[in-house]
Structure 1
Amino acid sequence: MIKKGGTLVLCIYLLALFYATLFIYNYYPYGKSVNLVLFDSIKLMWESGSYWLILKNIIGNILLFMPLGFLIPLVSKKGNSGLLIAIIGFATSTVIELLQYFVAQRIFDIDDILLNAIGAVVGYVVFRLFRSLYRKIKKAK
């Protein structure tokens, strides 16, 4: 039951993720561009001193991919590896960044890929904590 429900939630999440990252209009003053210098945009946002910019772009990119890291091991025993979750997060984010660049005419940013992969791993850690807590509660009964 959890696996079927989790699969449905994962599908809905992926649809929402692709919609939010590709079809919701975001104004970019630089237009279509590429950042391949790791930590360049993170440094730029951090140095801006704008808490909104930091929250939206740095924390937002991490939070955006946490459900991926939580849901994959929930629906698949094969997804029960932190390394695999990091790879899936990295690959999914890379596809989104490529689509943003080529289809949506926006920015391809290596820092977004890094932050998204970190978010997937954080989601996986949260999954492991919840699973451990669930097992302890179940065992105590």
Structure 2
Amino acid sequence: MLKKFYKIIILPYTLCLLYLMLLGFGRTQYDENVIRIKPFLSTLMFIENTFRLKTIIIIVLGNIIMFIPFGFLGWIFPRLNDLKSLVFTFVSIITIVEALQYFTRMGIFEVDDIMMNTFGVFIGWNICKFLEKRFNRLVL
């Protein structure tokens, strides 16, 4: 039952998330391409330069929480049941999305985003495995 719901909702969810990443939040095109490739540095700079704790929590946790549903992709693509395959596939795809942000100048290519998004997928994969073990008949 849960798998059926997931299969229905993941495509619209993905499209909505792509919209937010490339066009949402009142984005305007940057004057130049921006890339931040030093791990943790851009997140620490963001935290240091942001005065509102609420904004920090929304941005940092949002980069993790919004990607938890992708940890369940093994329900649609059995090859992605394996954590290594899931992470490799996800990192490849999210890197392409970050590159789109860079080349269109509708965002910043940030390694920190890739790491936080991937951590969200890892959390989702663990939740998925927990649900499969604990509530097998509800998940199927």
In the superposition, the TM-score normalised over structure 2's length comes to: 0.81
Cα RMSD for the two superposed structures: 2.4
The match for 1:126 is 127
Return closer, same or farther for 1:50/1:88 CA change in 2, 3 Å cut-off.
Answer: farther
TM-superposed deviation, 1:57: 2.1
TM-superposed deviation, 1:27: 6.2
Q: Is the 8 A contact 2:102 2:108 kept in 1?
A: yes
Q: Is the 8 A contact 1:64 1:119 kept in 2?
A: yes
Distance (whole Å) between structure 2 residues aligned to residue 29 and residue 16 of structure 1: 22
Q: How many residues align?
A: 135
Q: Which runs of 5+ in 1 are unaligned?
A: none
The match for 2:89 is 88
The match for 2:48 is 47
Return closer, same or farther for 1:59/1:30 CA change in 2, 3 Å cut-off.
Answer: farther
In the superposition, the TM-score normalised over structure 1's length comes to: 0.81
Q: Which runs of 5+ in 2 are unaligned?
A: none
Q: Is the 8 A contact 1:22 1:104 kept in 2?
A: no
Report runs of 4+ in structure 1 exceeding 2 Å deviation: 1-8, 25-32, 45-50
Q: Is the 8 A contact 1:33 1:108 kept in 2?
A: yes
Identity %: 25
The one-letter code matched in structure 2 to 1:111 is: D
